[in-house]
Amino acid sequence: MPHEILSREDWLTARKALFEKELAMTHALDALRAERRELPWVRVDKDYVFQGPEGSRALSDLFDGRSQLAVYHFMLAPGSDHLCPGCSFTMDHVDAARRHFEHADLSFVAVSRAPIEQIEAARARMGWAFRWLSSGDGDFNHDFGVSFTAEDREAGRASYNYGHILISRSSDMFGVSVFVKDEHGDVFHTYSTYHRGTELLMGAFNWLDLTPKGRNETGGTMSWVRLQDEYAD
């Protein structure tokens, strides 16, 4: 990992030049986040129902007394025993974070199409405490752009990430959707992000991005990432 070696004074000159770019990017991100908060909403009129260990829950029930809800679309399809390393890597960050954001009026739930028995086994294996529900064979995953029928995939109609990616193999993908419930109990969809948009939630990457090796993906994107119980040590 050869690098140019400078005196402390010359290093500070280079660091301050980069700092100005970081500062400009911070202000640009502040503006983008403000624009995101001003996006229009869509009323959710469909009665989505999910299965949990304690029975059925409607989408409006998942807010738990808060006005905002974040849903992580976890790639776990019926009949598949593959636990997605990328989704799991993201979910490893959730429990510590939600202990804070729940006090800022945001609830969280993960949703997959797999049956709840399979979900509960995976959650126990990973040691996660957050709520993870099954959407089963309902429309939720399809309506929010993370599940695709075999017919659509074969016909080239399986559009993911706002049309930037066409899915031909996987029946399920990943993403995040955000909902709001107003004082009348009406639910609205406010935001969804997919693919690299979920990197915002991967705190470990943000630490690595500060280092000379960065994400150290010498074998490809997320090449070293494993399920937390599958690392060699």
Q: What is the mean pLDDT of the chain?
A: 96
pLDDT at residue 65 is higher than 90: yes
The pLDDT tens digits for 24-64 are 999 999 999 999 999 999 999 999 999 999 999 999 999 99
pLDDT at residue 90 is higher than 80: yes
Residue percentage of the chain with pLDDT more than 90: 92
pLDDT at residue 1 is higher than 80: no
| 3-state per-residue secondary structure call for the chain | CCCCCCCHHHHHHHHHHHHHHHHHHHHHHHHHHHHHHCCCCEECCCCCEEEECCEEEEHHHHHCCCCEEEEEECCCCCCCCCCCHHHHHHHCCHHHHHHHHHHHCEEEEEEECCCHHHHHHHHHHHCCCCCEEECCCCCHHHHCCCECCHHHHHCCCCEECCCCEECCCCCECCEEEEEEECCCCCEEEEEEEEHHHHHHHCHHHHHHCCCCCCCCCCCCCCCCCCCCCCCCC
pLDDT at residue 233 is higher than 90: no
pLDDT at residue 11 is higher than 90: yes
